[in-house]
Amino acid sequence: MNPILDLDFIDNRTPEQATAAPSCDTHVTKENNTGRSRKLYIESYGCAMNFSDSEIVSSIMFEQGFDTTADIAQADLVFLNTCSIREKAEQTVRNRLGQINHFKKKKPAMMVGILGCMAERLKKSLLEEEKIVDLVVGPDAYRDLPNLINEVDGGQKAVNVLLSREETYADINPIRLNSNGVSAFISIMRGCDNMCSFCVVPFTRGRERSRDAHSIVREAEALVAQGYKEVTLLGQNVDSYKWASEDGTESVNFAQLLEMVALLSPDLRVRFSTSHPKDITDEVLYTMKKYDNICKYIHLPAQSGNSRVLELMNRTYDRDWYINRVDAIRAILGEDCGISSDMIAGFCTETEEEHQDTLSLMDYVQYDYSYMFFYSERPGTLAARKLEDDIPLEVKKRRLDEIINKQRETSLARNKRDIGKVHKVLVEGPSKKSEDQLSGRNDQNKVVIFYKKHYKKGDYVNVLVHDCSVGTLFGEAVD
């Protein structure tokens, strides 16, 4: 998910990128050359949580004598930080391992490790299935990497996929090699307790736990001191963030945490993802309203617009509840607050009428954008055990197409509303198409492109929007 948000999402996003913050393609960790003796190459797949974890892993490996390289041919150690959210996500990693084999043939001493959700799901069977793999490390076991690397150095294969109820890596200072120097992710919690019936995350990431609020604030403070202008607080369900000090004298919920981070600097934009419709409170919405620097944008995945399907999905809210939350957002934060969603087409037993309910919910909410997927059964999940994956692939794909077309309509309609208005844009860098243009995002997380004049990365610029496409706003800087 991220951090460069390209809103041509419909064409180039993969479903797994949607988790816990919008995301871009596979991340390759950048070069960090400090003269250390060995080189690590990390590629990250899936969601922002994984991209954020790769920064923690880089930090642990740096202490262990590894610089990072962006050139796999230079690497002594290759890590793939993997995603299991859909079958295709895992297939992508397996294909990549095939390619990495060519490098390993040229450089037999190169070690290959699988980290993240696929490591957790498949455990040591990965070593048997993929001969090239030397180590398999789950998302809660990264502190053990130095020992595991020693084992591999000693000629063995190594596995640690223990999940933890406490680990939050709170004290590890991530090396921000995935960042553009303007915006950064901060993990505020790990795991998920929700057990949505389609979802593999509770199995790959373990139980939900919240990180020490003060360590989060310290991390944000350090980022401000380094010149960062935006932080995104990350969790699978940020609204259930709840931290208490060990002596029980202090307790912080998500609205309070948001406020603590927002108060650090009025120049720091604060974003967060993902909000769960069952948990998002009016208190959070009022906190967003109170602080100009908390961005008015909420990723609120609905998954379906039909109450029976939502129940089968074990989402624990129904259509009316969801609509009530959207109404609260509009009432408290206004019509301009950005709202996005995730939608799954063709979940087990979904009828045509129920699919129509998803389309009508999209009409009601008028999402700015959505991440849209067809259902992919995941082994071990509640749905895989209890429900039949009975919607034929061509029906799933047709329903998904209808959802995508509906989203294109509403994205365009929402973007047209932005024309003629001045938007405060945080510049992230040159636009992809021209060095003369800059690209940044407005409060609602939409990409805005404009001619650069004297502006540069990290500036806040007022941009008068005069045109739009489905995924982008175009305008000119007004001084």
Stretch in the footprint of ligand SAH (CB under 6 A) among 18-26, 64-72, 177-185, 399-407: 18-26
Instruction: Please check if 192 is assigned to a binding site.
Output: yes
* 93: contact with ligand F3S by CB under 6 A: no
Q: Which of 21, 177, 201, 448 binds ligand SF4 (CB under 6 A)?
A: 201
The residue behind tokens 């490098």 is 103
Q: Which of 236, 341, 358, 410 binds ligand SF4 (CB under 6 A)?
A: 236
- Of ligand SF4, ligand SAH, ligand F3S, none, which one does residue 49 interact with (CB within 5 to 8 Å by kind)? ligand F3S
Rounded Cα distance, 294 and 478, in Å:
23
Rounded Cα distance, 406 and 369, in Å:
10
Alpha helices of 366-443 — where are they, by DSSP H?
382-386, 393-417
Return the closest-CA partner of residue 120 out of 168, 82, 158.
82
Residues between 336 and 395 with contacts to ligand SAH, criterion CB under 6 A: 342, 344, 373, 375-376, 378
Two tokens, residue 20: 């816990």
Two tokens, residue 40: 């690590």
Residues between 115 and 174 with contacts to ligand F3S, criterion CB under 6 A: 116-117
Two tokens, residue 60: 């642990």
CA atoms within 13 A on the CB side of 350: 31
Residues 273-312, mask of contacts with ligand SAH (x by CB under 6 A): -x-x------------------------x-x---------
* Beta partners for residue 82, in sequence order: 116
Longest dimension (CA), the chain: 65
Q: Which amino acid is at 97?
A: L
Q: Give the nearest distance from C-beta 58 to ligand SAH in angstroms.
A: 24
Contact 387, 197 (CB under 8 A): yes
* 17: contact with ligand SAH by CB under 6 A: no
* Beta partners for residue 135, in sequence order: 113, 158
Q: Give the nearest distance from C-beta 157 to ligand SF4 in angstroms.
A: 30
Contact 115, 53 (CB under 8 A): yes
* 236: contact with ligand SAH by CB under 6 A: yes
Residues 251-280, mask of contacts with ligand SF4 (x by CB under 6 A): -------------------------x----
Phi, psi of 55 (to 5 degrees): -70, -35
Q: Which of 26, 58, 168, 237 binds ligand SF4 (CB under 6 A)?
A: 237
* 194: contact with ligand SF4 by CB under 6 A: yes
Residues 31-70, mask of contacts with ligand F3S (x by CB under 6 A): ---------------xx-xx--------------------
Instruction: Please check if 337 is assigned to a binding site.
Output: no
Nearer Cβ to ligand SAH, position 133 or 199?
Answer: 199
Q: 433: left (phi > 0), else alpha (psi -120 to 50), else beta?
A: alpha
- Of ligand SAH, ligand SF4, ligand F3S, none, which one does residue 202 interact with (CB within 5 to 8 Å by kind)? ligand SF4
Alpha helices of 239-281 — where are they, by DSSP H?
254-262
Task: Give, for 38, the enclosing helix (H) or strand (E).
Answer: strand 38-44
Two tokens, residue 246: 């060990």
Strands of the 269-273 sheet, one edge to the other = 183-187, 230-234, 269-273
- Look at residue 299 and give its three-state secondary structure: strand
Q: Which of 19, 54, 240, 274 binds ligand F3S (CB under 6 A)?
A: 19
Q: Which of 57, 177, 189, 192 binds ligand SF4 (CB under 6 A)?
A: 192
Nearer Cβ to ligand F3S, position 53 or 239?
Answer: 53
Q: Which amino acid is at 268?
A: L
Q: Which of 160, 197, 204, 340 binds ligand F3S (CB under 6 A)?
A: 204
Give the start-end residues of each E strand in 289-374. 297-299, 338-345, 369-374
Q: Which amino acid is at 248?
A: G
Kindly list the residues in this chain that would bind ligand SF4 in the complex (CB under 6 A): 192, 194-196, 199, 201-202, 236-237, 276
Kindly list the residues in this chain that would bind ligand F3S in the complex (CB under 6 A): 16, 19, 46-47, 49-50, 83-85, 116-117, 200-201, 204-205
Kindly list the residues in this chain that would bind ligand SAH in the complex (CB under 6 A): 15, 18-20, 85-86, 198-199, 201, 236-237, 274, 276, 301, 303, 342, 344, 373, 375-376, 378
Q: Give the annotated binding-site residues for [4Fe-4S] cluster.
A: 47, 83, 117, 192, 196, 199
